[in-house]
């Protein structure tokens, strides 16, 4: 097995605000193989989008700061790259699709103009070739009448079409990594399925790797091979999607699964995790999920548990720590 395409090691992205330091991403590690789809799930504010933006180099500094860690893309630490080098990477080798197709496209330029711009930014082609390439890309994301859509403005297209156009834009330079930040959240369910299918088939076609960020467990279980579960800036659990949802290890993953509505099953009340995500200004000293956890123990609130590797899975919970682990104070 070769080295992974992307390796994130102990990444810490903090924000300095007037109210204090926010540790949006706090020691996140994961890796991604070539051609693999990795799902990142978590509630809003769990740091999944900031992780993606950090990889893209799009975190505003200040107020943001990369407090530590490494992001190895094809073996190169891209956190150490100069601005101009990072710019060559963005949109070229790493593409990104955003959550809101309604607002992620510039309203005053045509779809074609915006895709052609991306082509021209990274390859030495004239306007005509770039435009031809843009039409080709629109066809590839299965937009009917691509030549017509090319000349349209974003407000003239439906949400699904806009998201397809976004994907076309992200893929026009054949990136090796595509980051999708909640690509289907703003779309209705039938369109969601189409977009997911499209992303999956494009991945098979090009052999690119995909990071799929979502809070929707159904999306992840449908498309991702491996999943990491994030909570308050940390990875609580990682494992293959085939097992992680059926047999969750971490109490948080378990609770997430329980709060997912199941079709055809009439429950009196949907399960909800009690309490709230801890305030970013005032994180508990021990396990971050401890205040809301149904199986918390006395030790949980004392120190943060270490990662435990169980087979091809990883979990951050004291339940799986050996007593001799030296994890307790």
Partner 1 sequence: MMIKYIISRIMQSIIVLIGVTLVTFILVNVVPGDAVSLMLAKRTDQATMDRIRHELGFDRPYTEQYLRFLGNAVRGDFGNSYFEKTPVTEMILRGLKYTVRIALWALLLALALGLGAGIVSAYFHNSLLDRVIMFFSTLGISAPVFWLALLFQIFFGLKLKVLPISGVDKPGSFILPVLTLGITNAASIARISRTSLLEIISQDYIRTAKAKGAGELRVVFKHVLKNAAIPIVTFAGLVVRGLLGGSMLVETVFSIPGFGSLMVSSILTRDIPLMQGCVVYGATIFVLINLLVDLAYSALDPRVRLVKET
**Is 73 a residue that touches partner 1 (CB under 8 A)?**
no
* Given 90, 203, 250, 314, the residue binding partner 1 (CB under 8 A): 90
**Is 67 a residue that touches partner 1 (CB under 8 A)?**
no
Pairing of strands 64-73, 209-214: unpaired
Q: How many residues make up the chain in this entry? A: 329
First vs last Cα of the chain: how many Å apart? Answer: 38
**Is 91 a residue that touches partner 1 (CB under 8 A)?**
yes
**Is 295 a residue that touches partner 1 (CB under 8 A)?**
no
Evaluated on CA atoms 261, 267, 270, 274, the torsion sign reads: negative
CA distance 171 to 173: 6
Closer to partner 1 by Cβ: residue 78 or 118? 118
Tell the smallest beta-carbon distance from residue 155 to partner 1 (Å).
5
**Is 204 a residue that touches partner 1 (CB under 8 A)?**
no
Tell the smallest beta-carbon distance from residue 170 to partner 1 (Å).
8
For 82, residues 6+ apart whose C-beta sits below 8 A from its C-beta are: none
* Given 121, 193, 243, 257, the residue binding partner 1 (CB under 8 A): 121
**Is 16 a residue that touches partner 1 (CB under 8 A)?**
no
Phi, psi of 141 (to 5 degrees): -90, 20
Number of residues binding to partner 1, judged by CB under 8 A: 29
Window contacting partner 1 (CB under 8 A); options: 83-91, 140-148, 206-214, 269-277? 83-91
Residues 128-167 interacting with partner 1 (rule: CB under 8 A):
153, 155-156, 166
Tell the smallest beta-carbon distance from residue 75 to partner 1 (Å).
21
**Is 105 a residue that touches partner 1 (CB under 8 A)?**
yes
Closer to partner 1 by Cβ: residue 175 or 239? 175
Residues 167-186 interacting with partner 1 (rule: CB under 8 A):
169-170
Q: Which residues bind partner 1 (CB under 8 A)?
A: 56, 58, 87-92, 95-96, 98, 100, 103-109, 117-118, 121-122, 153, 155-156, 166, 169-170
């Amino acid at each position: 097995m070769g080295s992974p395409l992307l390796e994130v090691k102990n990444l810490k992205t903090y924000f300095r605000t007037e109210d204090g330091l926010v540790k949006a991403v706090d020691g996140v590690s994961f890796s991604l193989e070539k051609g693999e789809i990795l799902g990142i799930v978590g509630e809003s504010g769990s740091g999944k989008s900031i992780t993606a933006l950090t990889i893209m180099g799009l975190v505003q500094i200040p107020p943001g700061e990369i407090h530590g860690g490494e992001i190895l893309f094809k073996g190169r630490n891209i956190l150490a790259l100069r601005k101009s080098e990072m710019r060559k990477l963005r949109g070229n080798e790493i593409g990104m699709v955003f959550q809101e197709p309604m607002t992620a496209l510039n309203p005053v330029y045509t779809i074609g103009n915006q895709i052609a711009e991306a082509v021209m930014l990274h390859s030495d082609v004239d306007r005509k070739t770039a435009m031809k390439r843009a039409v080709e890309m629109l066809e590839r994301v299965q937009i009917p009448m691509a030549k017509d859509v090319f000349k349209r403005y974003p407000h003239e297209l439906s949400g699904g079409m806009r998201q397809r156009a976004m994907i076309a834009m992200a893929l026009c330079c054949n990136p090796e990594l595509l980051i999708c930040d909640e690509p289907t959240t703003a779309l209705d369910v039938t369109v969601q399925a189409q977009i997911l299918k499209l992303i999956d088939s494009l991945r098979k076609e090009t052999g690119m790797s995909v990071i799929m960020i979502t809070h929707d467990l159904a999306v992840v279980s449908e498309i991702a091979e491996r999943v990491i579960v994030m909570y308050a800036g940390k990875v609580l659990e990682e494992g293959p999607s085939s097992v992680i949802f059926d047999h969750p290890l971490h109490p948080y993953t378990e609770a997430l699964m329980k709060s997912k509505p199941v079709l055809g099953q009439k429950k009196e009340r949907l399960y909800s995790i009690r309490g709230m995500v801890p305030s970013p200004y005032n994180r508990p000293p021990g396990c971050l999920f401890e205040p809301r956890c149904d199986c918390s123990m006395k030790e949980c609130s004392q120190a943060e548990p270490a990662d435990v590797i169980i087979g091809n899975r990883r979990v951050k919970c004291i339940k799986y720590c050996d007593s001799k682990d030296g994890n307790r104070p």
